[in-house]
């Protein structure tokens, strides 16, 4: 009898431990889910809940390897949440919605991507300002206009955006909308590279390796740039970013990637 009580006590402790760890790792999500279902959320609160759900779905798939049908259903639910937040006026939700649209394999709403990006850019979001610059640069959802691309890149750069710095360098290197100028182009690449931007580093490597943009061909100097660590790419993450334990982390951490 005492042995049975002992094993029962151990089992209860085990269940308590499992339950505690579940709550510990899912508290942020459970709390946010409760608020979503029982409280009227503001636009930004709804965007944060949608982002939390987005990263939870990634974690769930990593843990349980869900089938494609389940993943697709969850993805549509997250997209709907971002759409609701965007309709309410969340700038980040508009940016996140564009990111989701661009990642979709099926036909993407090009005109909507441009409109949402422009609205977020006009609201002052640096990532959105960079993205609008790219849309004008490539003629995606709008006509190609290098002057407007430059305008939006510079707006992003005013907020320290290294992607905008790099693309200003691209415009000067190719003479798109401005007089071709290798010296100015290189200055912008260096600024982007020094902020850990991968494309800026790669452009410095390519120009030294091939002797382009007014730089001498110098393989040793090229490799010095190639070996420089980076932490920022052109990819714009769903924001806010949540880690594996569903805690908010830096959107662009200042740490090197191999």
Instruction: Return d(Cα 57, Cα 241) in angstroms, integer.
Output: 13
Q: 3-class secondary structure for 140-161?
A: CCCCCCHHHHHHHHHHHHCCCC
Q: What is the mean pLDDT of residues 163-186?
A: 98
Residue 219, in any domain of the structure: yes
Q: Kindly report which listed range (69-78, 80-89, 121-130, 168-177) carries the lowest average pLDDT score.
A: 69-78
Task: Give me the pLDDT at residue 224, please.
Answer: 97
* pLDDT band per the 50, 70, 90 thresholds, residue 148: very high
- Residues 131 and 95: their CA atoms lie apart, in Å, by 9
Residue 204 half-sphere exposure toward CB, CA atoms < 13 A: 25
The answer to whether position 175 is within a domain reads yes
In a domain, residue 151? The reply is no
What residues are paired with 241 via a beta bridge? 249
Q: For the ranges 14-18, 65-69, 80-84, 102-106, which has the lowest average pLDDT?
A: 14-18
What is the mean predicted confidence (pLDDT) over 128-138?
A: 98
Mean pLDDT of the chain: 89
Q: What value does the mean pLDDT take over residues 66-78?
A: 86
Q: 181 — phi, psi (to 5°)?
A: -150, 100
Decide: 244 and 25 in contact? Cβ < 8 Å: no
pLDDT value at residue 20: 45
Secondary structure of 219-250 as H, E, C letters: HHHHHHHHCCCECECCCCCCCCEECCCCCEEC
| Residue 24 to residue 246: CA distance in whole angstroms | 10
Contacts 24+ apart (CB under 8 A), 175-184: 176/137, 176/146, 176/149, 177/145, 177/146, 177/147, 177/149, 177/150, 178/146, 178/150, 182/212, 182/213, 182/214, 182/215, 183/214
The CATH number of residue 190's host domain is 1.25.40.10
Does the pTM surpass 0.85? The reply is: yes
Does residue 246 fall inside a structural domain? no
Alpha-carbon distance 257 to 67, whole Å? Answer: 30
| pLDDT at residue 96, as a whole number | 98
Cα distance between residue 37 and residue 227, in whole Å: 49
- Within a 13 Å sphere around the CA of 182, how many CA atoms are in the beta-carbon half? 9
Give me the phi and psi of 158, to 5 degrees please: -60, -20
Does residue 38 surpass a pLDDT of 70? no
Residue 195: which domain range? 161-233
- Evaluate whether residue 253 is within a structural domain: no
Instruction: Confirm whether 187 is domain-assigned.
Output: yes
Using one digit for the tens of pLDDT, what is the confidence trace for 88-124? Answer: 999 999 999 999 999 887 778 899 999 999 999 999 9
- Identify whether 112 is part of a domain: no
Residue 9: pLDDT over 60 = no
Range from 29-33, 120-124, 251-255 that averages highest in pLDDT? 120-124
Does the CA dihedral 92-95-98-99 come out positive or negative? Answer: negative
Structurally, the chain folds into a number of domains equal to: 2
- Residue 147: inside a domain: no
- Assign 17 a pLDDT band (cuts: 50, 70, 90): very low
Segment 46-70 shows an average pLDDT of: 87
Please give the C-alpha separations between residue 170 and each of 47, 134, 167, 229, in angstroms, as whole numbers.
Answer: 33, 11, 5, 21
Q: Are 105 and 78 in contact (CB under 8 A)?
A: no
């Amino acid at each position: 009898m005492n042995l049975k009580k002992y094993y029962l006590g151990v089992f209860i402790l085990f269940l308590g431990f499992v339950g505690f760890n579940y709550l510990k790792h899912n508290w942020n999500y459970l709390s946010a889910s409760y608020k979503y279902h029982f409280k009227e959320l503001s636009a930004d609160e709804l965007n944060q809940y949608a982002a939390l759900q987005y990263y939870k779905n990634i974690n769930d798939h990593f843990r349980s390897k869900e089938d494609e049908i389940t993943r697709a259903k969850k993805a549509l639910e997250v997209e709907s949440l971002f759409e609701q937040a965007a309709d309410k006026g969340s700038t980040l939700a508009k940016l996140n919605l564009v990111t989701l649209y661009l990642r979709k394999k099926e036909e993407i709403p090009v005109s909507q991507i441009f409109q949402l990006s422009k609205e977020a850019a006009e609201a002052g979001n640096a990532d959105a300002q960079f993205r609008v610059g790219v849309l004008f640069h490539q003629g995606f959802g709008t006509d190609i206009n290098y002057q407007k691309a430059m305008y939006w890149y510079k707006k992003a750069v005013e907020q320290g955006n290294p992607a905008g710095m790099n693309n200003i360098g691209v415009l000067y290197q190719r003479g798109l909308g401005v007089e071709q100028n290798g010296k100015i182009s290189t200055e912008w690449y260096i600024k982007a590279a020094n902020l850990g931007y991968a494309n800026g580093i790669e452009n410095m490597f390519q120009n030294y390796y091939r002797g382009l943009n007014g730089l001498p061909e110098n393989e040793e100097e090229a490799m010095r740039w190639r070996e420089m660590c980076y932490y920022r790419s052109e990819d714009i993450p769903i924001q806010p970013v949540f880690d594996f334990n569903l805690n908010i982390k830096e959107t662009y951490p200042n740490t090197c990637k191999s």
